Amino acid sequence: MTVKNILFAALAASVLVGTSGVRQLRAEENERVAFPHGYEAGVHYATVNRGGIREELFASRAAVEAAKQGLPLPEGTVVMLEDYRQDRLYRYVVMEKRAGWGNAYPEDIRNGDWDYREFRADKTPNPAEDGTRCLACHKSQAGNDFVFTYDRLRAAR
Ligand code: HEC
């Protein structure tokens, strides 16, 4: 092995280690957003209808107040979206923001300190959804703290 080859092998090894490190963090990541029992006590700030889908959205009073001031939502914020199909609860999707949670993600997919989780109608997490799609689509809303319905939060009573 030439010196160049040894250097290359070392570099390749460190890249591999780095990658698996990220994977492991991602797996832990998905255990982090727990089902937010009691969310209904917060503010029901919007209903979104699209075709046969009805979405009911909830957030905390503190999140509404922050949005009214045009601020990023406070640490600890949970946004709940109940997803009804033909008027039957189909699933829940949840986003939650905790200091440092974004550190596990590479910058190109990171959504600040938000993380995402889908729960089935029985409130258990859906293991088939690892959150990558959520991050990718919500990234487009970086200017609104990654929340599509930020203006609806703002307008809430
Ligand atoms: C293809 C784009 C896309 C993907 C993928 C996506 N979302 Fe969203 N999400 C939206 C849009 C658009 C809204 C606004 C409500 C609407 O128009 O239906 C929204 C709204 C939300 C809200 C309410 C807060 C807000 O941003 O308005 C939560 C919570 C949420 N999504 C969680 C998730 C989770 C969890 C996942 C992954 C399982 C996910 N989303 C995947 C587009 C997406």
Q: What is the DSSP string of 89-123?
A: EEEEEEEEE-TTGGGGS-TTT--TTEEEEEEETTS
CB 138 within 8 A of CB 111: yes
Indicate whether residue 95 lines ligand 1 (CB < 6 A): yes
- Reported as a pLDDT band with limits 50, 70 and 90, residue 2 is very low
Kindly report, residue by residue over 113-138, the tens digit of the pLDDT: 999 999 999 999 999 999 999 999 99
Computed over every residue of the chain, the mean pLDDT equals: 87
How is residue 40 written in tokens? Answer: 């209904």
Which residue's CA is the closest to the ligand 1 atom numbered 11? 148
CA of 41 to the centre of ligand 1 (A): 21
Task: Report the share of the chain in percent with pLDDT over 70.
Answer: 80
pLDDT at position 56 is 98
CB 146 within 8 A of CB 112: yes
Kindly report, residue by residue over 29-77, the tens digit of the pLDDT: 446 899 999 999 999 999 999 999 999 999 999 999 999 999 999 999 9
Domains for the chain: give ranges and CATH numbers. 20-155 (3.50.70.20)
